[in-house]
């Protein structure tokens, strides 16, 4: 579609936004020759600065702090990755590269957190491809949540009565090895599909019961501001849409994206919620603290979502540290997800009992604000089902029997009328 073909949806006047939208454009292409503009993001932690001096000696602060530079210079092949990580234990480079699995993509910033650590360092495990991904186990499927069957129009999932999930792009600034949407992210012709957005926006417009729209993908914050603003303003103009939520991992893997310019634009579309995908407390660096501060200061309501991953964060102390750090930075922990059964993910999955133990290890020991819901997104599209430790022990006559976080028994008078 050429620019001339583009018509603003919903009869809106978008002249102030000056949208220049490509359709079906590969994001790599989109960012390839883009200008590195001066960034207002200035924070570089000492560890990251050391990494930059060693591996990107010609790179200026201005370049490093540009999110476009971060995307352009991301680690996307094993050869480049082996310059900073001991990849000798990965003996299937070629095979992994050619498989139809998620591609490799790690920003230089995120690589600076991994480079001096062993290959089994939790953050590395979450983003470095592994041959265990080639083992397909029982119950695993490409689209375990059956989202594709719940799309009334392309790239719009309508599972719950009052809310929809809009898959706005197939591109992410880093590919998580356990991604639920690995069936759609990083695939060609899934980027910036304006036609699909228009269809989705019109569907939402024609369904007055939709009051909550989640923009996800892929990662919406990898889109240029004008594209994102086009979406936000289009949705914001629909009277029955009460809130918009953005699902993103960008603040954790590319905090440089959270520029004052972006935040100023986002601030116009209140009430705006952001669900930030966080994995491990080591992600909360000075850069991330600054990114979260900017978002929270702009009045964006911040929540977190974390996937429970074996050998990465399946530990009470690690989860406690992560949840407390998030809360301290004004991010309310929202969900811990059981790892969805996508093909080749069994090495990441813990028993469900581990998730329950983790919640048990948090409840009562840290502020209730820091305790997320542990949920399984039911395979087949049943939605999120919470799992809780057994505090309720049954009834004895007019009393409810219960246990507290220390395992001590109590009863509560609750007469049967
Ligand atoms: S950022 Fe989200 S959509 Fe992208 S790969 Fe990670 S889990 Fe998947």
pLDDT tens digits along 3-43: 332 322 323 333 333 333 443 344 455 555 555 667 899 99
- Claim to verify: residue 221 and residue 367 sit in the same structural domain: yes
Let me know whether 53 and 124 are in one domain: yes
Q: What does the pLDDT average to over 143-156? A: 91
Residues 206 and 339 in one domain: yes
Q: Are 220 and 236 in contact (CB under 8 A)?
A: no
Q: Which of 217, 246, 279 to mutate to test the pocket of ligand 1 (most atoms within 8 A of CB)?
A: 217
Please report the pLDDT score of residue 5 as a whole number: 27
Helix (H, G, I), strand (E, B) or coil at 50: helix
Is the CB of residue 246 below 6 angstroms from any atom belonging to ligand 1? no
Closest CA to 44 of 293, 284, 286: 286
Tell me the HSE value of 137 on the side-chain side, using a 13 A CA sphere: 11
Ligand 1 atom closest to residue 216's alpha carbon, by position in its atom list? 3
- Res 86 pLDDT > 90: no
Q: What whole-number percentage of the chain has pLDDT above 70?
A: 86
Q: Bridge-partner residues for 128, per DSSP? A: none
Mean pLDDT, the chain, as a whole number?
88
Q: For residues 158 and 298, state if they share a domain.
A: yes
Are both 373 and 413 inside the same structural domain?
no
Q: Is 185 in the pocket of ligand 1 (CB under 6 A)?
A: yes
- The CATH number assigned to the domain holding 258 equals 3.20.20.70
Together in a domain, 66 and 188 = yes
Same domain, 87 and 137: yes
Q: Are residues 343 and 413 in the same domain?
A: no
User: Counting Cβ atoms within 10 Å, is residue 274 exposed (0-12), middle (13-18) or buried (19+)?
Assistant: buried
Identify whether residues 193 and 95 lie together within a single domain. Answer: yes
Q: What is the pLDDT of residues 163-206, one digit of tens each?
A: 999 999 989 999 999 999 988 887 755 556 577 788 999 999 99
Mean pLDDT of 254-261: 97
Helices (H), 222-339: 225-236, 250-253, 260-267, 286-297, 316-328
Q: Which of 187, 186, 298, 195 is nearest to 246 (CA)?
A: 298
**Mean pLDDT for the stretch of residues 196-219:** 94
Domains held by the chain: number: 2
Structural domain boundaries, residue 67: 1-385
Q: Are residues 371 and 400 in the same domain?
A: no
Residues that are catalytic: 159-160, 163, 172, 176, 179, 181, 340, 377, 384
Q: Is 349's C-beta closer than 6 angstroms to any atom of ligand 1?
A: no
**In which band, very low, low, confident or very high, does the pLDDT at 336 lie, cut at 50, 70 and 90?**
very high
């Amino acid at each position: 579609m050429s620019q001339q073909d583009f018509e603003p949806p919903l009869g809106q006047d978008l002249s102030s936004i000056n949208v220049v939208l490509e359709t079906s454009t590969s994001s790599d292409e989109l960012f390839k020759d883009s200008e590195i503009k001066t960034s207002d993001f200035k924070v570089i932690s000492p560890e990251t600065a050391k990494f930059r001096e060693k591996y990107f000696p010609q790179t200026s602060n201005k370049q490093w702090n540009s999110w476009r530079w971060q995307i352009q210079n991301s680690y996307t092949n094993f050869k480049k990755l082996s310059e900073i990580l001991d990849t000798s234990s990965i003996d299937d480079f070629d095979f992994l590269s050619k498989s139809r699995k998620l591609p490799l993509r790690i920003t230089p910033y995120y690589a600076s957190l991994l480079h001096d650590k062993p290959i089994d360092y939790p953050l590395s495990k979450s983003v470095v491809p592994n041959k265990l991904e080639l083992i397909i186990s029982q119950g695993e499927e490409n689209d375990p949540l059956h989202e594709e069957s719940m799309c009334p129009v392309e790239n719009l999932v309508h599972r719950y009565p009052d809310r929809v999930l809009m898959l706005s792009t197939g591109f992410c600034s880093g590919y998580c090895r356990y991604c639920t949407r690995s069936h759609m992210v990083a695939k060609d012709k899934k980027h910036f599909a304006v036609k699909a957005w228009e269809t989705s926006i019109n569907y939402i417009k024609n369904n007055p019961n939709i009051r909550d729209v989640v923009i996800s993908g892929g990662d919406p914050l990898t889109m240029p501001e004008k594209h994102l603003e086009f979406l936000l303003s289009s949705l914001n103009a629909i009277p029955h849409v009460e809130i918009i939520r953005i699902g993103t991992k960008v603040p954790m893997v590319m905090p440089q994206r959270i520029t004052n310019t972006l935040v100023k634009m986002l601030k116009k579309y209140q009430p705006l919620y952001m669900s930030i995908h966080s994995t491990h407390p080591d992600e909360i660096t000075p850069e991330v603290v600054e990114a979260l501060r900017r978002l929270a200061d702009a009045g964006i309501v911040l929540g977190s979502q974390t996937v429970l991953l074996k050998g990465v964060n399946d530990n009470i102390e690690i989860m406690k540290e992560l949840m407390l750090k998030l809360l301290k930075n004004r991010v309310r922990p929202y969900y811990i997800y059981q790892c969805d059964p996508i093909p080749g993910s069994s090495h990441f999955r813990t028993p469900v009992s581990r998730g329950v133990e983790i919640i048990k290890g948090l409840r009562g020991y840290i502020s209730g604000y820091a305790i997320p819901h542990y949920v399984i997104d039911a395979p087949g599209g049943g939605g999120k089902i919470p799992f809780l430790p057994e505090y309720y022990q049954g009834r004895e006559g007019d009393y409810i029997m219960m246990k507290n976080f220390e395992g001590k028994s109590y009863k509560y008078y609750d007469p049967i009328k």
